[in-house]
């Protein structure tokens, strides 16, 4: 039996750590695969018939130099964040002071006098003690036949001690540890968004059981149980309001600060806050199955979907270390200068290549989660930044998804308007399509009694067939019901952008209903920056007829394709991909889920509480706000700019540092100070993404 388990991991503070842990876990016989995530500090492991205690996995992780805690606690208090900020400032101060001392001390020759008066073995002992964690990591990696970023630096340390430059070695150790701590704290800041979200997950619920209110751990609440929420309490489950009315703060799910009103029949979500009013809720989803639980899980697992550019950085870092070793060898061969050779080894910094991509991606994904942007992986941000075709669904995406019947025409005297509407609403009684609800509402407004359909067959993208009161009804688009008929009234309404439902009764056209849905008011404003980004094509895909589609497309100044079935939308996506285009699809995840999944990046609008949209889309917008679309594009572009700068800065910095060290212009002590500068620069640059607009 195959299952997927989560294992918390302690001690990881860099991208290389995750690779070490992953290799250790996958060496266990019953482990099929493992994704090790630095952000949430855990491993997602696929195992086959595992023992209950998982002792082999725990042992493998420990032998790799890390640990599996018996229980996992997360400090998410503001005080913890303040402490982190204070420590980072302290490290910055200490770093500056030490750097100043190093530069001035080298210029005045102080370090030579220090090393002359202190025995080498004392200096060596100091270096070994202070650099113990780094050296042990290097040794463990070497025993596994692996070279890591600190391997060459450690060789430089030994070389510095060997030539009597133990003060250089001490400075190298100091800056290595400063860099490691800075990386750890920056990673913690990137994790903070996720931990802040996780802290909102309710741990208990007040339920009505056995005729009384009792408080239970959230895992003991059952589906369909009645949950009671009082003013000022977080809603513990996803569910439907049975009684009461309240103002709900849904920012934990949607990122929207404005509260919404919830009453009988409203859907509510776990981790949202009932600010005013009390509610009795029927639980529909609990714990990890709730919308909030799934959001947390998807954000945590986003790190497993690595961007292609990360692979390039990994390859570069892998080849960089041997190249530096060759440069150091050539330096000694041509100069016979052990100090210059030592400086080459010391100044080389491979950590920055490993940090360049994951820190930036982690920051952007975490910042997006707090704004209601669920980005399932860094590779989707990278792909989004390269997109050149944007395809858009209509109903529920460009429109509000709340159509209403605005006109009705009976074309057969045997079926007057009210009877035509009654039969149509009866046939649509159990349909989930937005137009079906519009028909039912129109019938309710006229107090028309509905019949129970004896048969019901849905035809996706076309309409439906049903039997009501022994009448055979077909309801759908012109393409389905009356493809070749000339109907002036229908032509006029379609030209106005309205959607028509044609009704056929017992094989004869009985009439049609006209529905209209309001365009989201922010659409024109949202499309403007997308055009400015250089998208080659923005295209509307809709099942509506050509006249309706043309009217809407003309208003928005976009291309269009009409009368499309779900499979037609998939074909359009595949066609653009065959042309080498990078395709982004925006939809609501209802009938366009396959196209969302097929697109290079599928973006689902208003995905909160929509299982299909959350599963199919690569990026989920948790509230129905089209301004989030250009925002997620902006995040993608900014993230890639930061990553490219990180990689370029690292490459140029290392080339200059190696060149200066090889010709003897950068003494070992200054090389020691210089080797951690790229790390700190990349961390600071990536941290900017935590506060994106």
**DSSP string spanning 414-446?**
TS-HHHHHHHHHHHTTT--SHHHHHHHHHHHHT
CA atoms within 13 A on the CB side of 401: 14
CB 409 within 8 A of CB 491: no
Set 180, 249, 393, 600: catalytic member:
393
Neighbour count for residue 6 (Cβ, 10 Å)? 14
- Active-site residue, 393 included: yes
CB 231 within 8 A of CB 261: no
Token pair listed for 435:
């137009």
**DSSP string spanning 651-666?**
HHHHHHHHHHHHTT-S
Secondary structure in 3-state letters for 144-188: CCCCCHHHHHHHHHHHHHHCCCHHHHHHHHHHHHHHHHHHHHHHH
How far is it, in rounded angstroms, from Cα 384 to Cα 296?
22
How far is it, in rounded angstroms, from Cα 634 to Cα 375?
13
Cα pseudo-dihedral 373, 375, 381, 384, rounded to 10: -70
Collect all residues with Cβ–Cβ distance below 8 Å to 371 and sequence separation of at least 6: 255, 628, 631
* 588 DSSP 8-state letter: -
CB 110 within 8 A of CB 167: no
Element (H, E) at 508: strand 508-516
Element (H, E) at 209: strand 204-209
Q: Cα–Cα distances in Å, from 544 out to 391, 477, 503, 504, 516? A: 15, 8, 16, 18, 12
Element (H, E) at 228: strand 226-229
Query: Where are the extended beta strands (E) located within 315-395?
Result: 373-375, 389-393
Neighbour count for residue 4 (Cβ, 10 Å)? 11
Collect all residues with Cβ–Cβ distance below 8 Å to 322 and sequence separation of at least 6: 147
* 302 DSSP 8-state letter: G
Q: Which residues are catalytic?
A: 393
């Amino acid at each position: 039996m195959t299952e997927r388990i989560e294992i918390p991991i302690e001690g990881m503070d860099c991208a290389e750590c995750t690779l070490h842990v992953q290799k250790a876990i996958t060496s266990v016989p019953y482990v099929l695969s493992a994704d090790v995530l630095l952000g949430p500090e855990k491993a997602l492991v696929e195992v086959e018939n595992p023992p209950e205690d998982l002792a082999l996995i725990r042992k493998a992780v420990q032998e790799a130099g890390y640990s599996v805690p018996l229980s996992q606690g997360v400090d998410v208090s503001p005080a913890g964040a303040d402490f982190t900020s204070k420590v980072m400032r302290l490290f910055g101060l200490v770093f500056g002071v030490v750097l100043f001392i190093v530069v001035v001390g080298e210029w005045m020759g102080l370090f030579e006098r220090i090393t002359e008066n202190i025995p080498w073995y004392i200096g060596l002992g100091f270096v070994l003690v202070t650099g113990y964690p780094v050296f042990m990591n290097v040794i463990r990696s070497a025993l596994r036949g692996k070279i890591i970023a600190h391997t060459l630096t450690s060789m430089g340390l030994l070389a510095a001690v060997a030539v009597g430059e133990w003060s250089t070695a001490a400075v190298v150790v100091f800056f290595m540890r400063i860099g490691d701590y800075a990386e750890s704290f920056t990673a913690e800041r990137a994790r903070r968004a996720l931990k802040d979200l996780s802290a909102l997950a309710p741990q208990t619920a007040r339920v009505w059981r056995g005729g009384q209110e009792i408080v239970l751990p959230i895992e003991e609440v059952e589906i369909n149980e009645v949950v009671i929420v009082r003013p000022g309490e977080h809603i513990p489950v996803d569910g439907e309001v049975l009684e009461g009315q309240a103002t709900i703060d849904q920012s934990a799910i949607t990122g929207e600060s404005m509260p919404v009103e919830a009453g009988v029949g409203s859907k509510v979500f776990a981790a949202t806050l009932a600010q005013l009013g009390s509610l009795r809720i029927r639980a529909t989803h609990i714990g990890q199955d709730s919308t909030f639980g799934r959001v947390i899980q998807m954000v945590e697992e986003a790190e497993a979907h690595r961007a292609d550019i990360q692979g390039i950085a990994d390859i570069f870092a892998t080849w960089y270390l041997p190249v530096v070793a060759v440069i150091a060898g050539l330096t000694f061969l041509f100069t016979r200068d052990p100090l210059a050779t030592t400086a080459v080894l010391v100044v080389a910094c491979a950590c920055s290549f490993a940090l360049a991509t994951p820190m930036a991606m982690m920051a952007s994904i975490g910042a997006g989660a707090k704004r209601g942007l669920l980005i399932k992986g860094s590779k989707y941000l990278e792909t989004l930044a390269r997109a050149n075709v944007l395809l858009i669904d209509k109903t529920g995406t460009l429109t509000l998804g709340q159509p209403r019947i605005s006109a009705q025409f009976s074309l057969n005297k045997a079926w007057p308007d009210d009877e035509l509407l009654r039969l149509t609403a009866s046939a649509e009684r159990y349909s989930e399509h937005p137009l079906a609800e519009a028909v039912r509402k129109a019938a309710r407004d006229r107090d028309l009694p509905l019949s129970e359909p004896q048969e019901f067959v849905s035809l996706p993208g076309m309409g439906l067939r049903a039997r009501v009161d022994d009448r055979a009804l077909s309801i759908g688009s012109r393409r389905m019901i009356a493809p070749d008929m000339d109907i002036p009234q229908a032509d006029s309404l379609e030209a106005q952008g309205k959607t028509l439902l044609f009704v056929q009764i017992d094989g004869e056209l009985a009439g049609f209903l006209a529905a209209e849905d309001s365009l989201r008011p922010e659409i024109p404003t949202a499309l403007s920056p997308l055009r400015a980004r250089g998208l080659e094509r923005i295209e509307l895909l809709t099942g509506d007829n050509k006249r309706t589609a043309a009217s809407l497309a003309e208003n928005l100044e976009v291309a269009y394709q009409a009368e499309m079935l779900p499979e037609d939308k998939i074909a359009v996506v595949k066609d653009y991909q065959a042309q080498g285009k990078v395709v982004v699809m925006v939809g609501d995840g209802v009938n366009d889920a396959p196209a969302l999944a097929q697109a290079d990046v599928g973006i689902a609008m208003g995905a909160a509480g929509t299982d299909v949209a959350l599963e199919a889309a690569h990026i989920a917008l948790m509230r129905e706000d089209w301004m989030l679309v250009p925002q997620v594009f902006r995040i993608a572009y900014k993230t890639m700019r930061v990553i490219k700068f990180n990689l370029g800065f690292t490459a140029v910095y290392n080339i200059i540092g190696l060149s200066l060290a090889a010709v003897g212009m950068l003494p070992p002590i200054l090389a020691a100070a210089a080797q951690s500068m790229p790390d700190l620069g990349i961390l600071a640059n990536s941290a900017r993404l935590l506060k994106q607009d």
